[in-house]
Amino acid sequence: MRHHVHARKIGRSPSHRIAMYRNLVTSLLEHERIETTDIKAKEVRRLAERMITLGKRGDLHARRRALRVIRRREVAAKVFDELAKRYEKREGGYTRVLKTRQRVGDGAAMSVVELVDSAEAMAATSESAD
């Protein structure tokens, strides 16, 4: 039985999985939009939401906890300075996962993870409305 099992293993060793999630979260927070497989997108969403919540707290301990996951200081600074201000009135739900297509090579379900209220997300929704 899988009671209380919350993380997905996705067929990788723990060190590889942790490094991959750190890289994906850093890329998402830097570019505010990434395309990845559906399973990875769901895990990245969890971590990105947690990092933005830490950015909203803004204290030294929150900054140190965020730097455990976000290994680039300039991206961490963006989370604490820019994204924390952008989402100060929002209580969670900072990201969205949109299913896009199946990958040509292996048929894996692909998704786009993006930050809500970002400039790119607003442009994409206005283009689709036209």
Q: Which two tokens stand for residue 99?
A: 């299913």
Q: Is residue 1 part of a domain?
A: no
Better-predicted residue by pLDDT, 123 or 118: 118
CB atoms within 10 A of CB 118: 17
Q: Is residue 6 part of a domain?
A: no
Q: Is residue 93 part of a domain?
A: yes
For tokens 């963006």, the residue is 78
For tokens 């919540």, the residue is 53
CATH number, domain of 88, equals: 3.90.1030.10
Range of the domain at 92: 14-129
Q: Is residue 116 part of a domain?
A: yes
The domain total for the chain is 1
Q: Is residue 104 part of a domain?
A: yes
Nearest of 110, 20, 34, 106 to residue 71 by alpha carbon: 20
pLDDT for 74 beyond 90: yes
Model pLDDT, residue 9 = 81
3-state secondary structure (DSSP) of residue 34 = strand
Q: Is residue 3 part of a domain?
A: no
pLDDT for 91 beyond 80: yes
User: Sign (positive/negative) of CA torsion 25, 27, 32, 36?
Assistant: negative
CA distance 53 to 99: 24
Q: Is residue 59 part of a domain?
A: yes
For the stretch 33-54, pLDDT in tens is: 999 999 999 999 999 999 999 9
Q: Which two tokens stand for residue 23?
A: 């890289």
Q: Is residue 4 part of a domain?
A: no
Q: What is the mean pLDDT of residues 13-29?
A: 93
